[in-house]
Amino acid sequence: MVRRKQIDLLLVNPGGRSQTYQTLASELVAVEPPVWAGLMATFARQQGFEVQILDANAENLGLEETAGRITEINPALTVVVVYGHNPSASTQVMPSAGAICTSLKQSAPDLKILMVGGHVAALPEQTLREEAADFACGGEGLYTILGLLKAFQSGQPNYRTIPDLWYWDDGMIKSTPSSPLVKDLDRDMPGIAWDLLPMERYRAHNWHCFGDLKRQPYAALYTSLGCPYHCAFCCIQAPFRKGEEVLGYKRNINSYRLWSPASVIKEIDTLVHQYGVRNIKIADEIFVLNPRHVETICDLIIERGYDLNLWAYARVDTVKKGMLEKLKRAGVNWLAFGIESANKRVLADASKAYQPEKTLHILEEVREAGINIGANYIFGLPEDDLTSMQETLDQALDLNAEYANFYCAMAYPGSRLYQTALKEGWPLPRTWSGYSQHSVDTLPLPTKYLSGAEVLRFRDDAFQAYFNTPRYLNMVTRKFGPETAQHIREMASHRLLRKN
């Protein structure tokens, strides 16, 4: 194969939808733009480097085709970006990411590979030992990528000077000190490199478009990075921990960085005018948090008169009634809430500090504002038993949210729950795909009272109970029409295969 002249950087978004989502992968699941790859591309471009993105997931490429495309592009540095649909979905991407590294090393062993992402930052040494990569990153990756690119340009790379880098040296793994987090997001990483992405391939979540199942075009973006809360099951801060230490953060304080509303609206302007996007996900772990930030972004959207269909994450204890009207006017038609459990004991043990009895009242206010609810529940947190999980399902049925996600508790690498599982010797999945909620070999954590298999069975039965309940289907028919109700029936007909 004749290779092209080298570019500086190729960012690869791994594929593997069918392995992760089984039969749901065909039409039901979203096809998300790789937000972190897009941000990294912008950061490198700001420093004068030539960058491309290969989205193997969106293009549905196989391993050999992915490796062939990378070899043809011939980058000085290939970065495999290990993130998923949401911040907790990094680990389930590892099988595909690792397979890409192996395939590429077989076909082009001279090409240099760096792995970055939430999972990699949580387990950098293990990642380097297990995967066919030259380097692993222990932080958020931006200064590590920059350091490697400059080192390769010099012709005599000195890896010891590159921050957050894990690498092999004479058969031993070495690591370097960390760098601070990127502070000025507007200046150093002003948005996503949309022009490098196959924008026509991205597809919104099915529920995001209830009532009008036209799911394309679609985009996702961040307005903030990080989360100030400390839920035991969450691993979102894993890429930021080392950078926080360098900046002097105390261990009990999480970083939370914002793009300015002016920068955010510039992104939305680009999506609307250049790509015709109407369906947009605000991918922040919690968008509805800082009132000034949220309301200013809403004001800027309202001023432009855009007809958007937005959704974002919130907590029941961060929504203020005065925000809701403005959110709706800006096009926020869905708010997704991490309700998790209806049981106070279970919530307290997971460091999810809010009162369950307030949930229904707050969510009714959201509905009164004309905003649909995406309710997220977790079965199998450490204090869960069959009674508490049934309480949660009963609350879900009572709330009757326009959409619900039912998850099993997973000890994701980078979370406090993962550290507890290691300390206590709790059984963990034998493969990284086992951390996926929808894979054949998924293995949730056991609770103090139940096995992981029992939790999984309850979760799968709860999914069927919710989406086949006449009260729910009647509400959907009334609110979104019979076509959407039939779509839900078809969705519920997909029963996931499980080993456990």
CATH number of the domain that residue 60 is part of: 3.40.50.280
Per-residue pLDDT of 383-398, as tens digits, reads: 999 999 999 999 999 9
Instruction: Give the pLDDT score at 29.
Output: 82
Which whole number is the average pLDDT over 362-374? 94
Considering the domain architecture, whether residues 212 and 103 belong to the same structural domain is answered as no
Which whole number is the average pLDDT over 73-79? 96
Q: CA 143, 148, 149, 154 torsion: positive or negative?
A: positive
Considering the domain architecture, whether residues 117 and 210 belong to the same structural domain is answered as no
Considering the domain architecture, whether residues 212 and 168 belong to the same structural domain is answered as no
Instruction: Give the pLDDT score at 321.
Output: 75
User: Is residue 248 in some structural domain?
Assistant: no
Which whole number is the average pLDDT over 469-489? 96
Domain total of the chain: 2
User: Is residue 66 in some structural domain?
Assistant: yes
The answer, yes or no, to whether residue 21 has pLDDT greater than 50, is no
Sequence-separated (6 or more) residues with CB below 8 Å from residue 35 = 83, 192, 220, 221, 222, 283
Q: Given pLDDT bands bounded at 50, 70 and 90, which one contains residue 5? A: low
Instruction: Give the pLDDT score at 176.
Output: 97
Instruction: Give the pLDDT score at 58.
Output: 94
The answer, yes or no, to whether residue 2 has pLDDT greater than 50, is no
Considering the domain architecture, whether residues 165 and 304 belong to the same structural domain is answered as no
Which whole number is the average pLDDT over 413-417? 92
- The mean predicted confidence, pLDDT, of the chain is 92
Q: Given pLDDT bands bounded at 50, 70 and 90, which one contains residue 351? A: confident
| Buried-state track 460-484, b at ≥16 Cβ within 10 A, e below 16 | bebbeebbeeeebbeebeeebeeeb
Per-residue pLDDT of 333-342, as tens digits, reads: 999 999 999 9
Instruction: Give the pLDDT score at 498.
Output: 79
Q: What is the extent of the structural domain holding 89?
A: 7-175
Instruction: Give the pLDDT score at 20.
Output: 52
The full length of the chain comes to: 500
Among residues 77, 80, 82, 31, the alpha carbon closest in space to that of 54 is found at: 80
Q: Given pLDDT bands bounded at 50, 70 and 90, which one contains residue 350? A: confident
Considering the domain architecture, whether residues 97 and 211 belong to the same structural domain is answered as no
Q: What is the largest CA-CA distance in the chain?
A: 68
Instruction: Give the pLDDT score at 293.
Output: 97
Written as one letter, the residue type at 31 is V
* Location of structure tokens 């549905």: 60
User: Is residue 479 in some structural domain?
Assistant: yes
Which whole number is the average pLDDT over 40-59? 97
The answer, yes or no, to whether residue 474 has pLDDT greater than 90, is yes
The answer, yes or no, to whether residue 495 has pLDDT greater than 50, is yes
In angstroms, the CA 324 to CA 288 distance is 10
Considering the domain architecture, whether residues 143 and 214 belong to the same structural domain is answered as no
Which whole number is the average pLDDT over 322-339? 95
Of 38-42, 426-430, 437-441, the one with minimum mean pLDDT is 437-441
Of 2-11, 110-119, 131-140, 476-485, the one with minimum mean pLDDT is 2-11
Considering the domain architecture, whether residues 368 and 458 belong to the same structural domain is answered as yes
The fraction of the chain above a pLDDT of 70, given in percent, is: 95
User: Is residue 497 in some structural domain?
Assistant: no
Considering the domain architecture, whether residues 149 and 270 belong to the same structural domain is answered as no
In angstroms, the CA 140 to CA 180 distance is 10
pTM equals: 0.93
The answer, yes or no, to whether residue 17 has pLDDT greater than 80, is no
Considering the domain architecture, whether residues 160 and 209 belong to the same structural domain is answered as no
Which whole number is the average pLDDT over 205-225? 94
The answer, yes or no, to whether residue 22 has pLDDT greater than 50, is no
Per-residue pLDDT of 154-179, as tens digits, reads: 888 899 999 999 999 999 999 999 99
User: Is residue 242 in some structural domain?
Assistant: no
User: Is residue 432 in some structural domain?
Assistant: no
Considering the domain architecture, whether residues 148 and 12 belong to the same structural domain is answered as yes
The answer, yes or no, to whether residue 133 has pLDDT greater than 90, is yes
The answer, yes or no, to whether residue 1 has pLDDT greater than 50, is no
Alpha helices (H) along 47-93: 63-73
Q: Given pLDDT bands bounded at 50, 70 and 90, which one contains residue 356? A: low
User: Is residue 433 in some structural domain?
Assistant: no
Instruction: Give the pLDDT score at 425.
Output: 93
* CATH number for position 304: 3.80.30.20
The answer, yes or no, to whether residue 85 has pLDDT greater than 80, is no
In angstroms, the CA 482 to CA 7 distance is 51
The answer, yes or no, to whether residue 417 has pLDDT greater than 80, is yes
CA angle 401, 407, 409 (to 5 degrees): 140
Give the CA-trace dihedral at 20, 24, 27, 31, to 10 degrees: -30
Considering the domain architecture, whether residues 138 and 269 belong to the same structural domain is answered as no
Considering the domain architecture, whether residues 12 and 69 belong to the same structural domain is answered as yes
User: Is residue 95 in some structural domain?
Assistant: yes
